[in-house]
Amino acid sequence: MAAAQSDVFLSHASEDKEEIARPLREALEDRGLVVWFDEVKIKVGQSIRQEIEKGIAGAKFGVVILSPSFFAKQWTQAELDALFTKKVDTGRSIILPIWHRVTKDEVAAHSPLLAGLLALNSATMTVAEIADAIVEAVEEAG
């Protein structure tokens, strides 16, 4: 069965859901993007792992909200692993990182590869500005 297509898979820690993940999902959807978001896409009784894997497989990009909570969780690390694998397999830059309450040094301590990607930063940008930048990246990729 083919995975449902979305523009972005929104990877985040549950602790960041209220402050940035939900508002960002809403902002992206308001701008016309199709967003894979766990609390919308995973229904009671479904396999969380299988639904996440389908979401990643069917997404053009992975928007990754990097935060102290993100780096502390196994689920988010597994999502990041899958996104990096997809990046390598496709040869495309599909990971769109957002730094949320982290510095470049903190990101580098967890993942030098992630620290090397140009990131959006919630400390210096509004959710609307972040959403605009993501929409631009998705549209440029076609």
Q: List active site positions.
A: 79
Q: What angle, 0 to 180 degrees and rounded to 10, lies between the N-to-C axes of helices 74-90 and 48-58?
A: 30
Taking CA atoms, 51 is separated from 29, 44, 67, 79, in Å, by 20, 11, 23, 12
Burial class from Cβ neighbours inside 10 Å (0-12, 13-18, 19+) for residue 120 reads buried
Q: What is the DSSP string of 69-113?
A: HHHH-HHHHHHHHHHHHHHHHHTS--EEEEESS--HHHHHHH-HH
Is there a contact between 67 and 110 (Cβ–Cβ < 8 Å)?
A: no
